[in-house]
Amino acid sequence: MEIPCSEDYDSHKRFAGCTPRKCGRGVTDAVITREEAERIRRIAERGLSLGGSDGGASILDLHSGALSLGKHFVNLYRYFGDKIQDIFTEEDFALYRDVRQRIQQRIAQVFGISPSAMYLTKPTFFSRMNSTGAKTAHDEYWHPHVDKVTYGSFDYTSLLYLSDYSKDFGGGRFVFMDADSNKTVEPRAGRVSFFTSGSENLHRVEKVQWGTRFAVTISFSCDPAHGIADPLLG
């Protein structure tokens, strides 16, 4: 679905052949298989089992090592050291990288840019949401927001869903808040939602009412200065 670009990109340096000139959003079930999504979810479950927020939203960032723990965050790699080798495998990180590349290629194809002009950027992270009440502001994931306003580096945002709406959890749908009406995405394992990151895609996530919702947010910048590498084991 193509929509006019907001002015958010004007206040940042433009990168020819990447900075959105055609804006919009898409949903596809044809890039990542359900089986791959379940394997990715197991990576998230193993990592998040080491910590977890006291509230309803926990994150795991394999790039920076950030892991929710109680009301705070710890660095997974520093906190657990060599034990990380017992939790994740090289195959886990290879799958994560492969999935990231395929999503990047699909976004580039849809928006008519070269995948090599896009850079993975931070934060890129797993999220686990349940119906536990918020204990800190980090747990309040349901507020409407614009990614480009929150994170200036973002130009393209994607979400890979790792669990199924109405089977694994209730609530927790992704809502694009348009002027005329809301457009709602129902998560299912393997479904990818992707969009340009400006105000043309104001959005929120409904509160999870029951069960557990897993997803991974994979974000891209046109600015090589904001690029990050794929995570490496050890």
Which pLDDT tens digit goes with each residue over 85-134?
A: 999 999 999 999 999 999 999 999 999 999 999 999 999 999 999 999 99
- Average pLDDT over every residue of 177-185: 96
Q: Which residues contact 107 (CB under 8 A, 6 or more apart)?
A: 115, 118, 156, 158, 194, 220
- Residue 209, phi-psi category: left (phi > 0), alpha (psi -120 to 50), beta (remainder): alpha
Tell me what pLDDT residue 24 has: 98
Q: What is the pLDDT of residues 185-226, one digit of tens each?
A: 999 999 999 999 999 999 999 999 999 999 999 999 999 999
- 194 and 156 Cβ atoms separated by less than 8 Å: yes
Tell me what pLDDT residue 62 has: 97
Q: How many residues does the chain have?
A: 234
Cα separation of 50 and 35, whole Å?
24
Q: Which of 25, 41, 191, 213 is catalytic?
A: 213
Q: What pTM does this model have?
A: 0.97
Q: What is the pLDDT of residues 138-157, one digit of tens each?
A: 999 999 999 999 999 999 99
Where are the strands (E) in the chain, listed by range? 2-3, 23-28, 52-53, 57-60, 66-70, 72-75, 119-129, 156-161, 169-171, 174-177, 182-185, 192-196, 203-205, 208-211, 213-221
Tell me what pLDDT residue 42 has: 98
Mean pLDDT of the chain: 97
Q: Which CATH class is domain 2-13+32-225?
A: mainly beta
**Considering the chain, what percentage of its residues have pLDDT values greater than 70?**
100
| Residue 234 predicted with pLDDT over 70 | no
Check if 213 is active-site: yes
Domain definitions of the chain by residue range: 2-13+32-225
Cα separation of 160 and 143, whole Å?
20
**Considering the chain, what percentage of its residues have pLDDT values greater than 90?**
98
